[in-house]
Structure 1
Amino acid sequence: MTVLQPDYFSAFRCTCTECKDNCCKMGWDIEIDENTLSYYREHGGELCERLCENIYEEDGAHYMSQEGGCPFLTADGLCGVQQELGAEHISDICREHPRFYEWFGDYKEAGLGLCCEEVSRLVLTHERPVLFTEKQIDEEPDDLEFDSEIFAAVKNIREKLIDIAQDRGFTIMQRLALLCYCAEDISEALQEEDCEQLKKISGMLAIDGFRMEIVIQAEKDILSGDVRAMGKDGLDRLFSLFSQMEYMGSLGERFALTEDIRDKMLSAEKAFSENYAAYQHELENILVYFLYRYFIKSTRDYAAEERLFSAVYMTLAARGLFLREYAENGVLPDLDRRILLVKELSKEVEYDSDNMDIIYDEIQQSADTRDMLCGLCFQGDI
């Protein structure tokens, strides 16, 4: 099995008791895989009996109820099951979280989810472009079906998209706009299963001059209209979209946009862009994360436009949260605060399928997604 992973993957270590947002205290119901459940049922003993009593079945899957947090968490914030039975006998999801994987036959991709504060720290403090490395492991090929030719074409396109996301010859906002202008052509070729056209698009996207032409054209398109009005409308629509979602914590309040706050944010755009320029790698890495994690799924669902635009949406949402705090306080939120906001955005939106569906529905139903997002992208640069 060939495994692809970002260069910071092996640097992750759970901070355990030092974590300010312990995932074992979330109250989420945790799926228990069949092998782990069988061990609990067969092993016996007081702990395994208590584990089985806390596990219920729903739609053929088994979950451990955790209302108020995992009942097997020790007073010092560690896993009592792991302490007594060993890491090999906790559920797969408990052992692997926040890692994620995607399989295509004898090829596998691995990554780390931004919902974890330590992962958000690793991602936001990674100042050089993210590199992706391959290694060989001893694992049986996956048997889920996929079209190998489509997979190769999607993977190749994604490499170019990530390369654009990390092209520091452009501002991060120009890169976001460039990606938006690619979405329709990529989506049409994929929907038609035209791998030759996908290869052609991939080849064009690798050319620096072609990238520059797209950025210049995007700027001309935006400048031909009322940039201020487009930025105002775009900011309203971005925050309105995220304010429709359901949140466990207080993040939703940060997306509740009054006219006064909106105007302050627009007025602070230029100063924010200047003060945040040294930290553009944070948004770059967020963008790369979403492209890497989700675009490859287009191999099976052909939803290239939704995958691409949603990566832009999530990146602009993170930037919008930073901008709001700058507009309110007159200074950039510090690194710890930015890490917290990104982690919360991931946990509350990315890891909630209903909330992500709101973004996907907006992309599918709106005819001007590209122009709206580009209006936001160039608001701080023009």
Structure 2
Amino acid sequence: MKYNDYLKTIAPAVLAITLLFSSCTKERNFEPKAPEISGTKGIYVLCEGSWGQNNSAISYYDIATNTVVQDIYSKVNTTKLGETANDLQAYGSKMYCVVSGIKGQSNSFVDIMSIATGKSLKRISFNEASNLDIPRYVTFYQNKAYVSRYDGVISRIDTATMTVDAELQLMNGANKAAILEGIAVANGKLYVTNAVNDYANPNSLKTKVTVVDLATFKKTKDIEVGSNPVRITAAGNGDLYTITWNVWGQTNKPTLVRINSTTDAVVQTEEYDLGAIVIVKDQAWVTKDIYSTPSIRSINLTTGKLGNALITDATTIALPYGITINPFDNSVVATDGTTPGKVYVFGTDGKKKFDFATAGLPQRAVFTYNYK
């Protein structure tokens, strides 16, 4: 057989083999799977501290050693966290701490930290000349963090570059800025509560949840929900749950309001006096009547009604200030706002697994994990 004839004979086979291996290579060129969690390693707890004392802190509890660092932030970063830390949320490998500060004192910022080490990666200042841009809460959507502010602005942070890449000014009648509090995402939209501006002035009463289209980052509408809406969170089915606190001395009652994110219509209102709310998947908990007959109760996400109490043993919490669900095992972290601060962790059976002391006024938790 001549050499040219030989090449003609084997060329199709070589081509087929090359394509086969090329196809296999492409099929194997996939993103590695995220590591599988084997257990909870530790718990960060945001502690608000006393107003005006510049003593906010983040406590850290190591489960294996049963040890607590009362102020892990100061230990790791050799500086104080700041004044009136208000929110702590995890996103990817980072956690975002909203430090509200005090109007006029230029001590408001968002601190972005590594979850693995607690080390601060960047502080984003919210201290313009007006000193009104106090940040309050943070939520996330498609690699962006959204921060609500007291000057009626939503700031959007790129989570990769850790820089503010856009801002949206919201107004609330007569060209007055909205006072923004709770913030949540559902169905490709951002929902933010417009809360009270001046507690001494009933005319300042806000009653709305503002809706923002995240594709365009523009306001689309306001939803009337009742007096002084403050907390809001989204359920897995797309419903939003808003807590209105009213203003003491007014005739309106505190309520729990359910909003359908497809229609943006209020579908249910219940007269409950609630404090905090947390929802993860199909599990939802609220703190109820915290200053009178405190309890932590479930919410039935089908009916919107309150259900059973969380705690099934003899554990009592004098002032249930904050609640967080661990998405790994559905355990619940409940904080006691009395002095000194304390955290209780309950299993899905409602029985206490363990507790530990923290810095003052603990509220939100973020978890670290062990991996297989």
- Assess same fold via TM > 0.5: no
Q: TM-score, normalised by structure 2?
A: 0.25
Higher relative contact order (CA 8 A, sep 6+): 1
Higher normalized strand content (fraction of residues): 2
Q: Which has the larger radius of gyration?
A: 2
Higher normalized helix content (fraction of residues): 1
